Amino acid sequence: MLVHGAGAALAADEAATAESSEEAFAPPGLRWNAWTLQPQLLVAAGHNDNLRLQSAGQRRSAFVALFPTLQLQRQDGDSRLNLGWRAERTTYLSSRLDDSTNTELSADGLHLLGPRSAVAWRAAGQEWHDSVGQPDPSQPAAPPDRYLAAAAGLVWRHDLALAQGASPRLELDASASRKRYRTQRALTILADADSASLIGRVLVPLAEPERRAGVELRRLRQRYPNSYQSLSHTDVRLLGLLQWEPTAEWSGQLQAGPQQRRFDRLRPTQGLLSWSGELRWQATPLRSLVLGGQREASDVPGDGADAVVGSRWQLGWNEQWGATRTSLTLAQVRSHYVNGFQPRDDRLRSADLALRHDLGRHWQVGLNLGWLQRRSSISGFDFTRQLGSVVLSTGL
């Protein structure tokens, strides 16, 4: 979703005093009074051995990609404003039909309303491309499809001042988004979607400031105006929460509770126990391990328009040696399609390795290696993809 930055802005404000390894490599930007302009450019050259995620007859190509970004920031007392633009231009030397140009404009802000209250917001618009899933694997795979998307979100947080020093926290999170595919409408018209969500949370400190526990009520409305698969629904969740604030060697969060999805027609109501969690171990200031997991019911409209129950596990390792830093992420996703028209189970595995070395004067060189594999209970949906690239980035 495009609006995650609203909640992230509040989280970043709490951790502003802790400089991350990413920030250590970031250029300072150009400053005019309270404004800071940060232009950056990343250039990548590499090879993709399965552009359209096909099980047979894979299309392979070397590629060149440009990733320019602009960030204009203003810090003014108790308010912060960010205006952003980013783009991606990818050219495939052996498959020009798969070339794509993506752009995004965004704005987000953080406003402190006093010592115990804050509001963060974000709005974004995209013209983007993504891979088109094939509901019928006997049909030839198509190049990426272009879509237009817009989203906006707002997060309000307030800490209550009670006796004995306790400070329960109230949070309200509202967002809405819209997505419309433009070029291959015969297939991707099913993926056009509108969504709106409202989330309320109450968190109580257990051991200030390390741990908090609470409850979250979440309501999501998802609508597919052109889908004949009857996927439009209302998703309601009541979750118990437990958070470890990032102030010690261990940090993380866990949330779990019942999830109910009520479809507008034809499909039966779907209910299950959903959960997600993350545990982070900061072994040293320069080394960390992250373990995450999730189970929930969701949609895969871009892959034949269906409902799934999925679980995800992810393990990440981050390390820094002087001017060099690396990250390795291993993930596995299991998806059970519950459409009933064509029962299907998938297992998706991935491994991603990234290396970055600071050359000084805000120049970086890096290496990215990626592996992705899907195994399906239905013949024709299996694929394997290997992706590698060398990157060079710079900023002012």
Q: Report how far residue 384's alpha carbon sits from residue 246's, in angstroms, rounded to the nearest whole number.
A: 37
Going by pLDDT thresholds of 50, 70 and 90, the confidence category of residue 164 is low
Q: What are the residues whose beta carbons fall under 8 Å from the beta carbon of 12, sequence distance 6 or more?
A: none
Q: Report how far residue 338's alpha carbon sits from residue 347's, in angstroms, rounded to the nearest whole number.
A: 15
Query: Which backbone phi and psi does 21 adopt, to 5 degrees?
Result: -65, -30
Q: Give the pLDDT confidence of 190-214 residue by residue, as tens digits.
A: 889 999 999 999 998 887 667 889 9
- Angle (nearest 5°) at CA 340 between 336 and 345: 25
* Other CB atoms within 10 Å distance of the CB of residue 379: 8
To which H or E segment does residue 24 belong?
A: helix 21-25
Q: Report how far residue 149's alpha carbon sits from residue 126's, in angstroms, rounded to the nearest whole number.
A: 5
Q: In b/e form, how buried is each residue of 152-185, taking b as 16+ CB within 10 angstroms?
A: bbbbbbbbeeeeeeeeebebebbbbbbbbbeeee
Residue 82 predicted with pLDDT over 90? yes
* Nearest alpha carbon to residue 264 among 232, 236, 237: 232
CB 219 within 8 A of CB 233: no
* Nearest alpha carbon to residue 296 among 278, 268, 270: 270
Q: Give the pLDDT confidence of 226-258 residue by residue, as tens digits.
A: 877 788 999 999 999 998 876 668 899 999 999
Query: Which backbone phi and psi does 101 adopt, to 5 degrees?
Result: -130, 120
Long-range (24+ apart) CB contacts under 8 A made by 381-388 are 381/55, 381/137, 381/344, 381/346, 382/55, 383/50, 383/53, 383/54, 383/55, 383/58, 384/50, 385/48, 385/49, 385/50, 385/53, 386/48, 386/49, 386/50, 387/46, 387/47, 387/48, 387/49, 388/46, 388/47
pLDDT at res. 260: 97
Fill in the amino acid letter for 44: A
DSSP-assigned letter for residue 264: S
Per-residue pLDDT, averaged over 28-44, amounts to 90
Q: Give the pLDDT confidence of 353-382 residue by residue, as tens digits.
A: 999 999 987 899 999 999 999 999 988 889
Strand partners, 30: 37
Strands 363-376 and 30-32: unpaired
Q: Report how far residue 103's alpha carbon sits from residue 208's, in angstroms, rounded to the nearest whole number.
A: 42
Residue 11 predicted with pLDDT over 80? no
